[in-house]
């Protein structure tokens, strides 16, 4: 889980791609677990104070369900409930939204957990695709140049390493064979 959103990365084996994907999946799962514990703690504290039992129950239900993706109908419902709740109002400040309520803290935790769950799902699908690619036995002299967007490999260019070595030699010769005019 790096800060680079889009990158081109070379891998020298399918095993290396798999290890990278597994590492990313484990990191995302660890962060999701940490956020889930934080959200659970926040909900328990909120229940103790009994500030808003309806909201607490709704958030607890959402945490238990841990959906893989928001549906439009639920998004519309949650937006309409937010509009009704005085604590759920977000204030636009330039390009960001601000809120000072505990409900908003729980809301962003839940949104983050949901987003991370979607990311893990995408990484798992990419891992399955890589496993299928591995079955094709392309050989050991392949470099896999991956286009990675939002942390998920989307496209892979297969390049034979012997071609790369030839290109490097040619580039090396070409760089030093230029004549300087005086």
Q: What pLDDT does 111 receive?
A: 95
Q: What pLDDT does 78 receive?
A: 46
Q: What pLDDT does 141 receive?
A: 85
Q: What pLDDT does 140 receive?
A: 78
Q: Where are the strands (E) in the chain, listed by range?
A: 6-11, 91-93, 96-98, 142-149, 152-160
Q: What pLDDT does 3 receive?
A: 58
Contact 14, 144 (CB under 8 A): yes
Q: What pLDDT does 112 receive?
A: 96
Q: Which mean pLDDT values do the consecutive 10-residue runs of the chain (182 residues) have?
A: 77 93 96 95 75 59 52 42 52 91 90 96 96 83 92 92 57 49 60
Q: Domain-by-domain residue ranges, the chain?
A: 15-137
Tokens describing residue 20: 């990278």
Q: What pLDDT does 26 receive?
A: 97
Q: What pLDDT does 85 receive?
A: 43
For residue 63, which phi and psi values (nearest 5 degrees)? -65, -40
């Amino acid at each position: 889980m790096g800060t680079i959103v889009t990158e081109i990365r070379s891998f020298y084996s399918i095993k290396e791609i798999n290890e990278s994907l597994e590492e990313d999946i484990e990191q995302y799962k660890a962060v999701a677990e940490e956020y889930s514990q934080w959200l659970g703690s926040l909900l328990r504290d909120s229940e103790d104070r009994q500030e808003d039992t309806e909201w607490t129950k709704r958030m607890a239900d959402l945490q238990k369900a841990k959906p893989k993706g928001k549906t439009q109908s639920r998004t519309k419902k949650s937006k309409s409930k937010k509009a009704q709740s005085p604590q759920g109002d977000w204030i636009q400040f330039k390009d960001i939204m601000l809120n000072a309520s505990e409900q908003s803290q729980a809301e962003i935790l839940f949104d983050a957990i949901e987003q991370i769950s979607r990311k893990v799902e995408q990484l798992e699908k990419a891992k399955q695709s890589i496993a299928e690619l591995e079955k094709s036995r392309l050989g050991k002299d392949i470099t896999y140049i991956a286009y990675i967007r939002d942390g998920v490999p989307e496209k892979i260019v297969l390049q034979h390493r012997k071609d790369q070595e030839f290109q490097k030699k040619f580039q090396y010769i070409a760089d030093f064979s230029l004549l300087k005019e005086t």
